[in-house]
């Protein structure tokens, strides 16, 4: 290599380095199209690479005035830089012809930025000019920041990685969601769903991918527990909400419990201790869904978007399927969570309609007709299939403290709604 090199040689070196910045800019622009959810992230990097190319232009001007030289022990030559640029051109052609994964894009970007750091302009170029030194330092500082950002993206692994890999959100959007969640007290998942319209199913799929555990959508499958277990949990209402866990399915000696944080091993042990006779398995779900699920389980709120009429219609459809033999004969009791929800919602609807009476009437074929007296007139709220009728009547008796075995003698009692309202 020439000692102190000729001006054309120095200019050629800087020109090739400038070309590399332009190629990296084009690569990041290509990534912005490949990953539209991260478009702003890649375009920001591309704009900074364009700025770097402009800085190189200023260095070329300095070289033309003999203020910048190539060091005798420079780790690169004109040919080596030209070869690297040819490889970059090949990358661009490959990406244009064949899709690249997000993970591979990050790895490639990191490799390029690390390569620039390893070569280090101060090991290639020599100058006594203060302006040229500032330019070189600025270029190396910006490259260090770029490399660090890619390092962060590659190392950081959390529940939402899959959303970024699937282009559902960008890394920047995730950081915005984290900041908003911290300020608002909401979960990151909740913010992603509300602010960035990420589907709940995508969130749950990301949880499954990260925790290697099945997820449970409480909005589609609310808790289905026998009344005896609900009673057992009655004094744990605050505990369930504060530690964010909720039993969702109980069958024989098996119990499925939803967790917001599967990494809380102490909580897992506590849950197993709480139900020593059950084989407990865990699923992951969204924190706010657990909170709403707890309220729903204890009848303090209805599930989002679910009305009494919706449940009644679903029961009617199920009865039609039973009649056609599409599903096995169904046995349902007053302890079934669907019966508990149905009665709670019927009472709630009656309250909102201003009803003075609720009539649960079993017809001769055991179908259940629910009527409300509003302003002195009886109106039919719903007619439910026979397999649920007697269970609903027994549930009302339990709520009123009556003997469910007594079916012949008239009985009178009252139900305290908990807000000062009494139904008799």
The CATH number of 308-423 is: 3.30.450.90
Domain ranges in the chain are: 7-155, 161-211, 227-297, 308-423
* Residue 391 confidence (pLDDT) above 90: no
The CATH number of 7-155 is: 1.20.1260
Band (pLDDT 50/70/90 cuts) for residue 157 is low
Band (pLDDT 50/70/90 cuts) for residue 289 is very high
Residues 6+ away with beta carbon under 8 Å from 85: 16, 19, 20, 23
Radius of gyration of the chain (CA): 34
**31 near 105, Cβ under 8 Å?**
yes
**370 near 359, Cβ under 8 Å?**
yes
Task: Quote the pTM value.
Answer: 0.43
- Domain 227-297: give its CATH architecture: 2-Layer Sandwich (3.30)
Tens digits of per-residue pLDDT, 304-350?
A: 445 555 666 666 666 666 556 544 455 566 666 667 777 877 787 77
Q: Which of the residue ranges 61-65, 355-359, 361-365 would you say has the lowest mean pLDDT?
A: 361-365
Tens digits of per-residue pLDDT, 164-198?
A: 888 888 877 887 888 888 888 889 999 999 888 99
**Neighbouring-strand partners of residue 124:** none
Q: 111: helix, coil or strand?
A: helix
């Amino acid at each position: 290599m020439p000692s102190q090199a000729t001006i054309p040689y120095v200019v050629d070196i800087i020109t090739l380095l400038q070309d590399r910045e332009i190629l990296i800019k084009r690569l990041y622009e290509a990534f912005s199209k490949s990953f539209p959810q991260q478009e702003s992230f890649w375009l920001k990097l591309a704009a900074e690479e364009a700025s770097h190319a402009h800085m190189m232009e200023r260095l070329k001007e300095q070289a033309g005035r003999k203020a910048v030289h190539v060091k005798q022990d420079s780790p690169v030559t004109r040919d080596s830089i030209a070869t690297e640029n040819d490889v970059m051109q090949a990358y661009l052609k490959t990406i244009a012809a064949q899709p690249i994964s997000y993970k591979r894009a990050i790895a490639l970007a990191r490799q390029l930025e690390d390569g620039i750091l390893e070569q280090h302009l101060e090991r290639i170029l020599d100058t006594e000019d203060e302006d040229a030194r500032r330019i070189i330092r600025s270029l190396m500082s910006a490259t260090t920041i770029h490399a660090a950002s890619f390092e962060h993206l590659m190392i950081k692994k959390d529940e939402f990685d899959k959303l970024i890999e699937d282009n559902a959100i960008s890394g920047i959007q995730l950081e915005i969601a984290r900041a908003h969640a911290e300020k608002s007290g909401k979960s990151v998942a909740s913010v992603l769903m509300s602010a960035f319209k990420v589907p709940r199913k995508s969130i749950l799929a990301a949880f499954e991918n990260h925790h290697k555990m099945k997820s449970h959508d409480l909005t589609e499958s609310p808790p289905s527990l026998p009344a005896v277990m609900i009673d057992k949990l009655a004094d744990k209402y605050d505990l369930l909400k504060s530690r964010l866990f909720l039993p969702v399915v109980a069958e024989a000696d098996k119990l499925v419990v939803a967790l917001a944080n599967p990494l809380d091993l102490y909580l897992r042990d506590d849950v197993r201790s709480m139900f020593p006779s059950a084989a407990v398995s865990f699923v992951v779900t969204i924190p706010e869904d657990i909170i709403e699920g707890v309220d729903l389980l204890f009848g303090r709120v209805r599930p989002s978007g679910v009305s009494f009429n919706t449940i009644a219609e679903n029961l009617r459809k199920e009865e039609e399927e039973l009649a056609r033999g599409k599903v096995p004969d169904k046995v349902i009791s007053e302890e079934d969570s669907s019966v508990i929800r149905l009665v709670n919602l019927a009472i709630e609807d009656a309250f909102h309609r201003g009803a003075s009476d609720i009539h649960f009437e079993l017809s001769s074929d055991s179908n259940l007709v629910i009527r409300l007296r509003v302003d002195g007139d009886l109106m039919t709220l719903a007619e439910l299939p026979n397999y649920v009728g007697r269970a609903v009547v027994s549930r009302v008796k339990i709520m009123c403290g009556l003997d469910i075995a007594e079916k012949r003698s008239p009985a009178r009692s009252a139900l305290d709604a908990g807000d000062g309202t009494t139904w008799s």
